[in-house]
Amino acid sequence: MMIPTIPTPDELLDKGFRRGKKAADEVRSSKMPRRLKPKRIEEVRVVTACQVIKDRLKMINDRTPTVEDLPIFYQDYIDITVGIDDLKKSLGALNWAYGIISQLERDYSKKIRRYPPEKASQLRSQAYGRVASVAKKISKDLDFLDFAKSQLRNMPTIDFDATSIVIAGFPNVGKSTLLRQLTDAEPEVADYPFTTKGIQIGHIERNWKQIQIIDTPGLLDRPIVDMNDIEMNAMVALEDLADAILFIFDASETCGYTLEHQNNLLTEIQKVFSAPIIVLFNKIDIAGYETGSDRFDYIDKFIKMNDNPLLISASEGEGIDKILKVFDSVKKIDRNNDDY
């Protein structure tokens, strides 16, 4: 998410006061009755400084997207990463500062006009003091926004118009190998607050249909009972996004998990996700899946538990076309209707 550059209170004030001084210098060198000048100089100085500071505050508020307008996926992301309430509170504080500075601008320009010229400079300095104390009061909020900016810098770019396929399966079953095989370009790697390993997104275009494949290492690769609240939230966010789940078995069990274990994970994922689940068995090249062998019967038992799963070898590029064909039939889930 794009939060604009956030100044420190000092940077905010420096810029305002510098511009105020410049504007005042222009008045000083302009043609004007001498006796009007002192008041005019100080008034311009106050008004310009306040305007510049207000513009900056307003720009930050305007350019920061309204969280409620963002897709749920990003709302969850922001909430976990920086906290939506804290973000709103900080933006609210900037808004508050804007209001107070507007008030000071009005009050002090009026005073400068009404008071004798020899008071003008003193009033301006008083106005500056009060503006500075407003800026100090939002110091924590500016800090927070700067932190939020850095935290949200590498947010994943999700294409909400694309059909989304979320990959699941235990570690080392071949998820990232497959993702690379399925997509032409290198998958985009972005931060994902729910796991330390980030999120990988690959894009495919098929018959003018945009498909994005999402792998979340460290999330959909272990039993759901082991998940904490944050990870459960991440699941909900993915559930909200997924048009289909691509569940990967490692038929060779070289990932270190038995087919039984892997099947249990699939069962859990079936319970959580309402999207259709595409099941495939990977590493068929080293699985010992040869007719007549004990290994064949053993693997076949798990294959038969699923409805026509695909048998592939991601590292050998075997079966990739079959997967892409299945993707063609995935329908984008319409989540804009009322009962959703």
Q: Give me the residues that bind ligand GDP (CB under 6 A), please.
A: 171-177, 282-283, 285-286, 313-316
Which CB sits closer to ligand GDP, 210 or 315? 315
Q: How far apart are the first and last CA of the chain?
A: 25
Query: Taking the complex as a whole, how short is the minimal distance between the CB of residue 175 and ligand GDP, in angstroms?
Result: 3
Q: Which amino acid is at 148?
A: A
Query: Taking the complex as a whole, how short is the minimal distance between the CB of residue 99 and ligand GDP, in angstroms?
Result: 52
Cβ partners under 8 Å of residue 56, min gap 6: 7, 12, 15, 16
Taking the CA atoms of residue 124, residue 125, residue 131 and residue 137 in that order, the dihedral angle to the nearest 10 degrees is -160
Query: Taking the complex as a whole, how short is the minimal distance between the CB of residue 152 and ligand GDP, in angstroms?
Result: 26
Query: Taking the complex as a whole, how short is the minimal distance between the CB of residue 300 and ligand GDP, in angstroms?
Result: 18
Which CB sits closer to ligand GDP, 212 or 216? 216
Residue with tokens 């311009």: 44
Query: Taking the complex as a whole, how short is the minimal distance between the CB of residue 230 and ligand GDP, in angstroms?
Result: 21
Which CB sits closer to ligand GDP, 146 or 318? 318
Which CB sits closer to ligand GDP, 86 or 318? 318
Which CB sits closer to ligand GDP, 173 or 199? 173
The C-alpha atoms of residue 171 and residue 113 are separated, in whole angstroms, by 73
| Burial (0-12, 13-18, 19+ Cβ within 10 Å), 261 | middle
- With CB atoms as reference, the residue minimizing the distance to ligand GDP is 174
The DSSP line for 294-334 is HHHHHHHHHHHTSSS-EE-BTTTTBTHHHHHHHHHTPPPP-
